[in-house]
Structures are given as C-alpha cells and as structure tokens.
Structure 1
Amino acid sequence: MASERDCFKLSGPLHLTYIDWNNAHHRKSVAACLIKGVYVLENDRQARREGPKALALPWWAFFHFQLYMILVDDVDSSIFGAIYEFKPPPSMCNHALHRCPRYVIAFRGTIPKADSVSRDIELDIQFIRNGLHQTSRFEIASQAVRNMVAAVGGSNIWLAGHSLGSAIALLAGKTMAKTGIFIESFLFNPPYFSAPIERIKDNKLKHGLRFAGSVVTAGLAIAMKVKQQKSLSFDPFAALSAWVPSLFVNPSDPICSEYVGYFEHRRKMEEIGAGSIEKLATQNSIACLLMRGFGKECEPLHLIPSASLTVNLSKSRDFKDAHGIQQWWKPDLHLESKVHKY
C-alpha cells in the first residue's frame, strides 16, 4: 500500500541513528529522504491525511530538519518541492556539523496518481522537448532558489531532486552556476533522453554507436555554424565546468542510465585522439541543433560538463526498484563513484 511506502518507520533508513556529515553515504541518504518527504507531502495532500494521520513529518524531522516552505504548482496545486531548514539540537558538536547544509531545496518526480499525473507527464514531455525551462513550475522553483541564495548564500544550500525533480534541480543549478554560484547538488535518477545505447551488452558495438553519434552531432553543429569553442572568447559550457553536481544513477534504469555512457564515452574519445570531436558533440544534441535550424532557441537541459557520478551496481528487481528513490538510502549498496571534470 502507498501508506506503507510513505511510512518512515516501515521504509525509512532507521539504521542512520547518527549522521556523519563527512560521510558521503550519509549525505546521500539524507538528501534522498528529504526528497521522499516531498513525495509524501503530496501523497498526504491527495489522500487528505492531516494532523496525526499525515506521514510526511518523520522524513525530515528524523534528521533534525524543519519544513521551511512548500512549493506548489500553479496549474494543479500539487506540492512539487519543499525547502527544509536544518535545526540541530544544542547537544551536537560544531565539528560534527562540517559539510551540513543550512537549507535544502528538494523536488519530487512524477507521481502516477489522478490529482497530479497529467501535469507531471506534461512536464516530462517538456523535458524531452528541452522546454522545461519555459514552464511555470520551473519558474517557481528557480525563483525559490534565487531567493534563498540571495538570503543565505549559495554555499549554505543544497539542491536535491529525483527523476523529473532532478531535472528541475539540475536546470536550477546550471542557471546559478552560469552566474558563478555553485550549489552542492544531489541528483537522483536524472533523466537523460537518448536511445538506450547503455543497455547494449557488446562494448565494441556500444562504443561504435556512440562514436558515430558524436561524429554526426559534431558535424551537424559545424554545418549549422555553431561556433567551435576555441573561437569563442567566452565558452558558456566550459564556464559550468567548475560546478560538480552529484549524480546518482542505476544502469538498469533506462531513464538515467545514459549518463554512464555519456561520461565514459567522453573519456574514451580523449584516449583515441578524438577529443576535439567529442568536445563539440558533448555539449550539443541533434534535437536542439535541428530546432535551432528552424530558428528556435534550444539548450540541451541534460548535458553538463562535470559531475561526480555514482552508479548503483546492486541488482535491481525491476524498473520500479531501479528508478525508485528508496534505493539510495539502503545500506550495503554496491556503488561505484568517479568524478568527471571537463
């Protein structure tokens, strides 16, 4: 039942009785739980669970956070985000709070329920069309991020999101990074719209398809007179490279698995001396190039120069398990992490 999944006592990380903010697994788990809190806030709203019947509170209170603000979509009135304020008890030592945030801005993904699913799917489609930045939900999210940065500074904030919510957090983080403000970000199962090349088992075939794709993309970019980076006095893609968001992907999840190949292919292209081709291909998508050819502005929302990529290699039962937020706070995960710098 949905209430069982929403209940912290039944599905939350009760093993985390003490949070070490220097521990990457602990930080990841807390960020994931705060996102889960947004899901449960919306589920509480739809199920009309109020007061003692509401299930959302433990998802942040367990880690000494308070609900500072909720973010509501202007179209369907659903709760899609929340801002949490960290309020540690006086007994916590200052040295134990190193690397902890003062505020966390978290965004949920799609909820397949009648009161929210049509709006969520509409935004999923906007992401595929590279139009998420033009939606009112993103504008509400972006304004909330700007307001918090202005009030407390970017270094005191975390961004966190899952699925569609991670796309919103990624886009908000990119927007701030372009102004020189780099916000620590936790992006779980971030969508990467592409052919599912990562699912191919034959590594040679997989690399060959990616190589061909890079050549086509770079060639199309040049043909459509997209300026090459070395001829620019300012390269906006390279300017983002100092921002290193944390991406958490599962290779069994086709929604996010292409990020694995995106960064690995870039490394291989450098190794074979084709770095100049990949340098142009890595910041363009064929869909956006074609849209620009028709005079429409388009920026591939999912492409980023740098990231700390964590891959969950633990066996997943099904798509729901591979895409779910709950996997990221489980103990004893088989994780592989690597920092990719542009």
Structure 2
Amino acid sequence: MASERDDFIRSGPLHLTTVNWGNVHHRRSIAASLVQGVYVLERDRQEKNRKALAPPWWEFFHFELFYTLVDDVDSSIFGAIYEFKQEANRYYLAEIPRFVIAFRGTITQLDCLMGDLSLDLNLIQNGLHQTSRFGTAMKAVIKMVSVSGASNVWLTGHSLGSSIAMLAGKNMARTGHFLESYLFNPPFISAPIERIKDNKVRHGIRIASSLITAGLTFAMKVNQESQQSEDPFDVLSTWIPNLFVNPSDHLCCEYIRHFEHRENMESFGAGGIARLAMKNSLTGLLMNAMGWEYQEELQLIPSAYLTINRSPSPNFKRAHGIHQWFRGDLSLHSKVYQYKL
C-alpha cells in the first residue's frame, strides 16, 4: 500500500497555487518537492503494481522529467533531471531555472537498502567521491552546465543526496561555475560535541580544536606555498549554497555550531584563527602529517545561506525528513555566512 507521504494531493505543498520565484520560501518548497519526486520515482519502480505517484511532485510546478539517474550497481533511481516548461510563464524570469538536478537520500526498502547503506559508509569514511553513483551524478551535472550554462542549473538533494549535490557543487565552483544549490539536512560528519551538556566544556573544546587546527593548517600552507598559487578553499568562498538544517537532527545540526563558532571567534578578534581552522579538520591534518592521503572533508565549505527550522520536531525521523521543508508555516531563522578572504 502506498504511503500517504508519497501522494502529492495528501502531502504536497498545495498552497503554492501561484508561485513567486523571487520568494525564497517558494523556491525552498519547490526544490524539496523535486527531491521528493526522486524518492517516489524509486518507490514507484519498486512497487510496480501501484499507480505511479511521482509525476505530480514536479508537474504541479510546471516541470517535466528530462532524465533519470540510475545507479549502475543496484539499478535504483537516485536522481532526476527536471526541465522547466518555459511556456508555463508569459515572461521570462531570471529566478526560474531551466534545469534542476535532484538527488534523494537513503531509502530503507530492501531493493536498494544495501546500496544506499554502502554509500552512507563511504560518506562517513570521506570516500563519496570514489563511488560510481557520484561519478554518474558528476557527469550529469557537467553535461547540463555545458548545455545550458551554470546560471540555468540548480542542484538540490536531501541527506545522502545533499552530500552528492554539495560535492558536485564544490567541484563545479572550483572551475568557476557557481550553481544555485538547495541542500536539505546535509550530514556533517564530526565528533558529537553538541551532546556534551556543559556549555563551557563544549565551547572550550571548540576553541582548543580551532587553535590546533589553525596552527597545523598554517604550517601546511607555508610548506605548500611554492606548490600552488591559489588556496583551493578560498576559491569556493563566492559559492553560497542554501543549507536547510534542523537543530533536532544530529546528522546535520553541527552546521549551526560550525558557522556560529566562526562568527563568535571573529567577534573576539580571532577571525583569522577561525578561518584557518575551518579549512581543514583536525583528523585530516593529523593523517596527512603522518603521510596518509586524506581527502578534504565534504562538509568543509567557506560560505552558506543557512536556514534553521526551529519548529517543534517530535522525533528524529521528523527532524531529518524532507517533508518538513514543503510547509509554508515553519518557524525559520536564516542567515548568510560569507567567508572573508
């Protein structure tokens, strides 16, 4: 039996009968709906005997399914490329993307559970860039940007899918292509500092970690100055993805403290230390110092437009779910964190 949450009529943002593409909340709801469309596409594939429930998730907003992205390991649908029907608008608006590339997160149904959990493990081990699923995603992003230009392509994803979108966005930004990105509940892999109840202890750990990381980063930078003329982290500073997090979701809530900590350090006159510290993780620096190759952590981004959902969440499932981001009655707090070179 189909889940009520897969049915757009029962669960979708029906309040958006008229879309204002200049409204950030409308864009958020649409991006989240397109991600949900990918989830439902895969569940439609698995439950072949049921009526297809996916199309309304994009057709309601005048998109059509341009292409589906299929994992070559388990044959699951993990992404979709949507194209906006230009005839749906009388006048062209710069805010409307021509294409939206969306990626789903982990699905617990048996048909793709093992494949998704394998990707989750790769994400935890900082090896997402080496997976075939990401390779397929990256090729699709490069192709669509080459066809229509970066200004006409959006990236969006949820959970594991937001990590795929973030990594693709970082790769494109390093080549000078800055894609508008909507990333829902992006995982932040780190030590669970927020679970420490004592606020002073938490704060002390963050400061100590920043000082050590900044020192190691500075030493590494001095050592590498002759090898490269431009800091790869600084190149990303003008790319400002939209991050949507819930403080009750332990998988993504560290983004809140990550950016707040940098801002606090800057207010105390230690902004230089904070900016150096956020370029690398302590784990990565120590591994590199010991001669082990360690890829830059995915979650390390210099800038973000961070939106926090402060509406009550009864449990982790609700706090981490994509459905919260459709709603128009959320208690949201948004702030831009711009990295200063």
Q: Could you tell me how far apart the structure 2 residues matched to 1:279 and 1:2 are?
A: 48
Q: Secondary structure at the match of 1:115?
A: helix
Q: Name the SS for the 1:192 alignment partner.
A: coil
Structure-2 residue corresponding to 1:60: 58
**1:128-165 Cα deviation digits (max 9, x unpaired):** 11110111110100000000011110100000000000
Paired residue for 1:38?
A: 38
Report the counterpart of residue 126 of structure 1 in structure 2.
122
**TM-superposed deviation, 1:331:** 1.7
Q: Deviation per CA, 1:111-144: give whole Å up to 9, x if none.
A: 0111111111111111111110111110100000
Deviates more, 1:107-116 or 1:270-279: 270-279
Normalising by the residue count of structure 1, what TM-score does the alignment of the two structures yield? 0.94
Q: Which runs of 5+ in 2 are unaligned?
A: none
Alignment-derived partner of residue 149 in structure 1: 145
CA contact (8 A) 1:229 1:235 kept: no
- Alignment CA distance shift 1:26-1:229 (3 Å): farther
Partner of 1:196: 192
Post-superposition offset of 1:204 = 3.3
Equivalent-residue separation in structure 2 for 1:268 and 1:277 (angstroms): 11
Per-residue CA deviations over 1:74-104 (Å, capped at 9, x if unaligned) read 11000000000001445x3316x34011000
Tell whether the 8 Å contact from 1:82 to 1:106 is kept in structure 2 after alignment.
yes
Q: Is the 8 A contact 1:22 1:98 kept in 2?
A: no
Percent identity over paired residues: 61
Structure 1 segment 219-234 matched on structure 2, within 5 A: 219-222=215-218, 225-227=220-222, 233-234=229-230
Paired residue for 2:27?
27
Measure, in 2, the Cα distance between the counterparts of 1:263 and 1:251.
13
Separation in 2 of the partners of 1:324 and 1:159?
A: 18
Query: Does the 8 Å contact 2:217/2:279 carry over to 1?
Result: no
Matching of residue 241 in structure 1 with residue 242 in structure 2: no
1:254 has 2:250 as partner: yes
Q: Which residue of 2 aligns with 1:309?
A: 306
**1:279 aligns with one of 271, 275, 278:** 275
Aligned counterparts of 2:272 and 2:224: Cα–Cα separation in 1: 10
Report if the CA contact (8 A) 1:86-1:103 is conserved. Answer: yes
Contact 1:158/1:183 (CA < 8 Å) preserved in 2? Answer: yes
**Matched pairs, number:** 337
Task: State the shift of 1:214 in Å.
Answer: 1.2
- 1:225-282 Cα distance to aligned partner (Å, 9 max, x none): 3448988631111110010000000000000000001111011111222222222210
SS in 2 for 1:94: coil
For 1:61, give the aligned amino acid.
E
Equivalent-residue separation in structure 1 for 2:144 and 2:285 (angstroms): 34
| Mapping of residues 262-301 of structure 1, within 5 Å | 262-292=258-288, 293-301=290-298
Where 1:143 maps in the other structure, the secondary structure is: helix
How far is 1:209 from its partner?
A: 1.9
Equivalent runs, 1:81-230 vs 2, <5 Å: 81-90=79-88, 92-94=89-91, 97-200=93-196, 202-222=198-218, 225-227=220-222
Moved more, 188-197 or 154-163: 188-197
Q: What is the root-mean-square deviation of aligned Cα atoms in Å?
A: 1.9
TM-score (norm 2): 0.94
2:338 counterpart residue number: 341
CA distance in 1, matches of 2:87, 2:46: 33
Residue 66 of structure 1 aligns to a residue in which SS? strand
Q: State the secondary structure of the residue aligned to 1:85.
A: strand
Distance 1:253 1:203, change over 3 A: same
Q: Where does residue 16 of structure 2 map in the other structure? A: 16
8 Å CA contact retained: 1:101, 1:158: yes
Distance, in Å, in 1 between the alignment partners of 2:128 and 2:177 is: 21
Query: Structure 1 residues 213 and 94 mapped into 2: Cα distance closer, same or farther (>3 Å)?
Result: same
How many Å separate the matches in 1 of 2:222 and 2:152? 36
- Give yes or no for the alignment of 1:318 onto 2:308: no
Q: 2:47 — aligned with what?
A: 47
Aligned CA distance change for structure 1 residues 69 and 62 (closer, same or farther; 3 Å) = same
**Could you list the per-position Cα deviations for residues 166-207 of structure 1 after superposition, in whole angstroms to 9, with x for gaps in the alignment?**
000000000000001000000000000112333556543332
> What per-residue deviation string (whole Å, max 9, x for no partner) do you get for residues 281-314 of structure 1?
1011123223323331411111100010000010
Q: C-alpha separation between the residues in 2 aligned to 1:2 and 1:310?
A: 31
Deviation of 1:55 after TM superposition, in Å, equals: 0.6
The answer to whether the 8 A contact 1:198-1:251 is kept is no
Letter in structure 1 aligned against 2:118: E
SS of 1:110's equivalent?
A: coil
Quick one: structure 1 residues 113 and 75, their matched pair in 2 at CA, closer, same or farther if it must change by over 3 Å?
same
Contact 1:198 1:260 in 2 (8 A): no
